[in-house]
Structure 1
Amino acid sequence: MKEKKVNQEQLVEMIRKYAKEALKENFSKRHHDVEAAHRVVQQMSHDIEDEVLKQGWNSPAGDMI
């Protein structure tokens, strides 16, 4: 089997291509994690609001806002 020679330009281009794909995948995962965290914070905010409405503004729940 004959070895294929790869010149430096081709090698650099291949590395750039793979690095770009890896960054894209990592960004996509981080974006998904941020969206999930945002949903949790929104839910907590709604839960606190609900608790304040139940207990009133002068309650411990009202102090959280």
Structure 2
Amino acid sequence: MEITSAEEIMILLSSMDKEHSVARIYVPGIGEFTIVLQKKEGNSGAAAEERIPVAGLTRNPYL
């Protein structure tokens, strides 16, 4: 799906649910993206670092 405005992205995100949890979009001049809706797990409070699930990398807190 080609995205040309922020409104189109918001419509796409609001229509995502458990059954339709993956969307591939193309932004002209930037490229193709895959958006994946994930269920947020409860915070344990013990983890000081946020991890990116797929890569297992530590997120830079300064970004």
Please give the range of the TM-score, normalised by the shorter of the 2 chains: under 0.3
Normalised by the length of structure 2, the TM-score is: 0.25
The structure where helix makes up a greater share of residues is: 1
Normalised by the length of structure 1, the TM-score is: 0.24
Larger Rg: 1 or 2? 1
The structure where strand makes up a greater share of residues is: 2
